[in-house]
Amino acid sequence: MRDDFDYDDDFSQDYDDEDDDDFGMTFEEDVYLMIREKLRDTIQEFKGKYPDLKKLESAVSSFKVNAKNTDDSKFYPLAAKLLSEHIKPLTADSEEIQEIYDNMQADIARFKNQRAHGHEGDFYLTD
């Protein structure tokens, strides 16, 4: 039995709250959610300037994945690949959608190589 137990000393550690957002998330889920967030934020930021992004917004909002009984390590890479294939036909409509698609591919590559840099930045378009 431990006689020197001091609640204040033993449990007063200061934990970094930044990592709490990722708690319980697999690498694959984290990458997929990052891709979706960058895609959404890019569309919201630039759709007023580039009207073709409204088509992309519609395509992304209608995207659904149905892959029952699939674990995270397979589901999220599959979902990212299917999302990519879903928006690929729109790349012919504008240079901006092509740039978004190309930059998204850099993040998708991280599923195969976790050390890959992915796309640097918060948006898939440069202004």
* 116 within domain boundaries: no
| Alpha carbons 84 and 31: distance in angstroms, whole number | 14
Q: What is the pLDDT of residue 9?
A: 45
| Alpha carbons 36 and 60: distance in angstroms, whole number | 9
Measured CA to CA in angstroms, residue 123 lies from 5, 20, 32, 127 at distances of 50, 24, 15, 9
Q: What is the pLDDT of residue 84?
A: 95
* 35 within domain boundaries: yes
* 123 within domain boundaries: no
| Alpha carbons 67 and 53: distance in angstroms, whole number | 28
Q: What is the pLDDT of residue 44?
A: 96
The domain containing residue 36 runs over which residues?
24-111
Q: How many domains does the chain fold into?
A: 1
Q: What is the pLDDT along the chain (127 residues), one digit of tens a residue?
A: 445 444 444 444 444 444 445 568 899 999 999 999 999 999 999 999 999 999 999 999 999 988 777 888 899 999 999 999 999 999 998 999 999 999 999 999 999 998 888 898 899 998 7
| Residue whose token pair is 């967030």 | 37
Q: Which pair of structure tokens corresponds to residue 122?
A: 């918060």
Q: What is the pTM of this model?
A: 0.77
* 124 within domain boundaries: no
* 45 within domain boundaries: yes
Q: What is the pLDDT of residue 116?
A: 86
Closest CA to 107 of 118, 120, 117: 118
- The helix (H) or strand (E) run that includes residue 37 is helix 27-46
Q: What is the pLDDT of residue 22?
A: 52
* DSSP string for residues in 80-99: HHHHHHHHGGGGGT-HHHHH
